Amino acid sequence: MNYGRRNILLTSASVAGWMGLGLDTFAQERPVVSSGAMRLISIGGALTEIIYLLKADAELVGVDTTSIYPTAATRLPNVGYARGLSAEGILALRPTQLVATAEAGPPIVLKQMIDAGIPLSILPSGHQLIDVIDRVRIIGRLVHKTDAAQALVSRLLLEWKNTQERIANSILNSARVLFILSQNPNQLMVGGEKTSAAAMIAYAGARNAISGFGGFKPLTPEAVIAANPDVLLLTDQGMKAIGGISGVLRLPGIKQTRAGKEQKVVSLEAMYLLGFGPRMPLAVAELNLLLQQAMA
């Protein structure tokens, strides 16, 4: 099976179009030509993890706020939140290459980077193993580490095989899991269909307690009660923001659900759980284990 895709190098015209009509319509695939030492900025924690695993971190001069793993990445200059980038902060680092996920923005800032002559590679988004492998191979070519990228792909495939075997031998009895994103104690923001959270829940052998809408959306207390999840899933950061399990149980409608009554709450670090980076097979295995323990 061919998992490879060429990276996407956006031109000024394509970004301008993207601002109005969508990325896919205007993306142009072209090889990235590099001369001299690269000054690379990574916008996306999963991409930064890949760069470190490929031992190309010497090229990095900056990262975004989601780049918290490995710890060394947090010591690099930070260009801000991936969706709210500042042109001044990026340009100050004199980059020769930007690599980002499709969630990066705002588009006007990315257009400014293109207008300034800085190559921008937007990597494909997606919540499947093939998407992780795509990102590894694309970055491998970008930083001239194709052999290291292929070795990492082989490792990921082996880890995924082991994870799938473990999940096949586990019993979750169709556990219904509700992912809670909200850090606002007065409003419950949950993960619907076609989200990274929904993909992780399914990969771990459970079912998303929410259906009928996509993306992350607020849910009324009545809808939470009707969903009646067996387990509540949060990020570690979300748990901390609302005061731990006691804070989760105070969220609207939660105490009236099976998960709330039995205090079945699990969490994982945000990028580990939702980032779909190179730790994704291990994160799926760990989520499966946590869900099994919660359901025991």
Is 264 inside any structural domain? Answer: yes
Instruction: Let me know the angle formed at the C-alpha of 248 by 245 and 253, rounded to the nearest 5 degrees.
Output: 140
Residues 12 and 136 grouped into a single domain: yes
Q: Which residue, of 158, 186, 219, is where some domain finishes?
A: 158
Residues 55 and 187 grouped into a single domain: no
Residue 33 has a pLDDT of 43
- Its pTM stands at 0.86
Is 131 inside any structural domain? Answer: yes
Residue 194 has a pLDDT of 92
Is 125 inside any structural domain? Answer: yes
Q: List Cβ neighbours of 240 (8 Å cut-off, separation of 6 or more).
A: none
- Tens-place pLDDT, residues 144-199: 999 999 999 999 999 999 999 999 988 887 899 999 997 677 778 999 999 999 99
- Tens-place pLDDT, residues 98-152: 999 988 999 999 999 999 999 999 998 899 999 999 999 999 999 999 999 999 9
Cα-Cα-Cα-Cα torsion 280, 124, 134, 156, nearest 10 degrees, comes to: 0
Is 170 inside any structural domain? Answer: no
Residue numbers of the domain that contains 14: 8-158
Beta-carbon-side half-sphere exposure of residue 187 (alpha carbons within 13 Å): 6
Q: Which residue, of 158, 184, 202, is where some domain finishes?
A: 158
C-beta separation of 209 from 241 below 8 A: no
